[in-house]
Every structure is written in structure tokens, then in C-alpha cells.
């Protein structure tokens, strides 16, 4: 097992392939872990490892990763884990691809360390669209499991994390609504179409990024195969930035 340890947190990760580095942030909400990629429309680990150095990770307290929980924790806490892992692997600049909750993690990475990000691929980002209770319910289900696994975690800490992650009125949760207007990192956006990943959130990103590549159909049949090629070509085009 490959483990990165920092300040009492243990982050499980896997690497595959060689070439330009790309960090993968899995779907699954608060349960974002490498295993979740197996249920995605297509698994980027399998598709990218032939041409890129793929770094996949379990987020803290998901999969095989563990970490403390404090009421002040939030998106920044997870991004510090992500950047810490890349520092540990001595990867200064890299691309990043994320699905579902990976969207807000990518946006927070851009806010925190844009100079390190060559390009990003956002698969069906989560976003706010009259669906707050769905996210609270998802968090609470995860929190119940965490309380079972970690007897020392407090309800106060979990309430604080819940609000820091999914409270407020930000459409994309992790950054202010106008933040993406200022980023210059190339972006490929694959559209969502359900309650957690509303189409409106993907189009919200596109409206602010401007010249991003936008892919509407990417989950089935010939459109899935076309989307794979488009994403891989996008990554190749920006791998030497």
C-alpha cells in the first residue's frame, strides 16, 4: 500500500503509467475514493495510464485514507492533502481531472495554487440548484459511518465541516461565484444531468471560464468513445504548458 502521511493524516494513493502527471479526484461525494472510478461511465485510470503518470487518491476519511475532523475544516483541508501528496511525490506542476465532488476540489485547487495546474478536466461537477437537502443527506450518511469508525470525532466538528462544505449560497460550493472569470488555466467540462450534478452547474462553469472545451454527451455509446478521445487530446495539448 502507498500511504502519504501528514500531521496525523494518512492518505492512500496509487500511481499508474508514465509521462506528464495528472492528479485524479474521484466521484462519490464525501466517500471520494479510487474505487468509485469503477462505477463511472469510463475509468480515467484505465484510459490515461498508457500516456500519463496517473496519481489517484482516496480523500481523507474515504476509502483507505484517514484523518482528523475539526469544525474549522472545509474544502481547503482536502486541497492541502492533495497538494501535500503532489509535494511528497515531487511533482511541481500537473494536470488534474475530477468527477462529481472533484469539481469543487479542482476550483479550490485553482484558487489556492493556480500556477501549479497545467489544465483541468471537470466531469459533471456538483453544484447548487434547489438541492441543498440532498447534499446534507449525503454528508450525514457519511458522517454516521465516520462516527462509527472514529469514536473521538465530535458532533460539533461534523456540524462545522458540514456547513463549511455545503452551507452558504455559492453555486459551486468551494469558491465565490465569480472566481472562475479570473482563471486562465485551460479547462474541459463534461456536462452533468442529475440532481447532484445539475446541467446548470456545468453551464455555470462554462459561462465564467469562456473558452473551455464543453462536452454535453459523454456517457454512452459512440458519444462516450468520442468524449474519451476529446479528453485525451485536450490533455495532450496542454501537457507541456
| Helix residue spans in 114-220 (DSSP H) | 132-149, 155-166, 199-209
Look at residue 168 in the predicted model and tell me its pLDDT. Answer: 95
Could you report how far apart the first and last alpha carbons of the chain are, in Å?
Answer: 32
Choice between 16 and 1, residue whose per-residue pLDDT is larger: 16
Q: Domain 2-236, CATH 3.40.50.1820 — does that match?
A: yes
**Helix, strand, or coil here: 98?**
strand
Query: What's the rounded mean pLDDT across residues 164-180?
Result: 97
Per-residue pLDDT at 149 exceeds 80: no
CA distances in angstroms from 43 to 34, 81, 88, 124, 190, listed in the order given: 10, 23, 25, 14, 14
Question: Grid cell 454516521 — which residue?
Answer: 144
pLDDT, tens digit, 9 for 90 and up, residues 42-56 = 999 999 999 999 999
Look at residue 145 in the predicted model and tell me its pLDDT. Answer: 92
Contact at 8 Å (CB) between 13 and 58? yes
| Residue-range domain boundaries for the chain | 2-236
Look at residue 115 in the predicted model and tell me its pLDDT. Answer: 97
Per-residue pLDDT at 208 exceeds 80: yes
Q: Give me the residues paired with residue 107 across strands.
A: none
Q: Say if strands 53-57 and 94-99 run parallel, antiparallel, or are unpaired.
A: unpaired
In angstroms, the CA 114 to CA 117 distance is 5
pLDDT tier for residue 211 given thresholds of 50, 70 and 90: confident
Per-residue pLDDT at 205 exceeds 80: yes
Q: Say if strands 9-16 and 21-25 run parallel, antiparallel, or are unpaired.
A: unpaired
Look at residue 237 in the predicted model and tell me its pLDDT. Answer: 97
Per-residue pLDDT at 220 exceeds 70: yes
Look at residue 191 in the predicted model and tell me its pLDDT. Answer: 98
pLDDT tier for residue 241 given thresholds of 50, 70 and 90: confident
pLDDT tier for residue 1 given thresholds of 50, 70 and 90: confident
List all residues 6 or more positions away from 24 whose beta carbon is below 8 Å from its beta carbon.
34, 37, 44, 45, 54, 55, 56, 57, 96, 97, 98, 102
pTM of full prediction above 0.95: yes
List all residues 6 or more positions away from 52 whose beta carbon is below 8 Å from its beta carbon.
17, 18, 19, 20, 21, 22, 95, 235, 239
CA nearest 89: which of 17, 42, 23?
A: 23
Query: What's the rounded mean pLDDT across residues 183-203?
Result: 97
pLDDT, tens digit, 9 for 90 and up, residues 73-84 = 999 999 999 999
Choice between 148 and 101, residue whose per-residue pLDDT is larger: 101
List all residues 6 or more positions away from 63 whose beta carbon is below 8 Å from its beta carbon.
12, 31, 32, 33, 34, 35
Look at residue 151 in the predicted model and tell me its pLDDT. Answer: 67
Look at residue 203 in the predicted model and tell me its pLDDT. Answer: 97
Look at residue 101 in the predicted model and tell me its pLDDT. Answer: 98
Q: Give me the residues paired with residue 66 across strands.
A: 10
Amino acid at each position: 500500500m502507498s500511504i502519504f502521511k501528514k500531521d496525523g493524516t494518512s492518505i492512500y494513493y496509487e500511481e499508474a503509467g508514465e509521462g506528464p502527471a495528472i492528479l485524479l479526484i474521484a466521484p462519490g461525494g464525501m466517500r471520494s475514493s479510487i474505487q468509485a472510478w469503477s462505477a463511472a461511465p469510463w475509468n480515467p485510470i484505465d484510459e490515461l495510464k498508457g500516456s500519463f503518470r496517473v496519481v489517484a487518491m482516496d480523500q481523507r476519511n474515504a476509502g483507505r485514507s484517514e484523518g482528523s475532523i475539526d469544525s474549522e475544516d472545509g474544502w481547503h483541508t482536502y486541497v492541502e492533502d492533495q497538494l501535500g501528496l503532489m509535494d511528497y511525490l515531487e511533482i511541481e506542476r500537473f494536470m488534474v481531472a475530477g468527477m462529481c465532488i472533484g469539481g469543487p476540489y479542482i476550483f479550490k485547487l485553482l484558487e489556492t495554487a493556480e500556477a501549479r495546474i497545467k489544465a483541468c478536466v471537470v466531469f459533471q461537477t456538483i453544484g447548487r440548484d434547489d438541492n441543498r437537502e440532498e447534499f446534507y443527506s449525503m454528508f450525514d450518511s457519511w458522517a454516521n459511518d465516520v462516527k462509527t469508525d472514529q469514536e473521538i470525532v465530535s458532533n460539533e466538528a461534523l456540524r462545522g465541516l458540514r456547513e463549511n462544505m455545503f452551507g452558504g449560497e455559492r453555486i459551486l460550493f468551494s469558491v465565490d461565484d465569480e472566481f472562475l472569470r479570473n482563471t486562465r488555466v485551460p479547462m474541459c467540462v463534461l456536462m452533468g444531468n442529475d440532481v447532484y450534478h445539475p446541467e446548470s452547474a456545468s453551464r455555470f462553469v462554462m459561462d465564467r471560464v469562456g473558452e473551455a472545451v464543453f462536452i454535453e454527451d459523454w456517457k454512452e455509446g459512440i458519444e462516450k468513445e468520442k468524449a474519451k478521445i476529446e479528453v485525451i487530446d485536450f490533455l495532450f495539448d496542454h501537457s507541456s504548458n
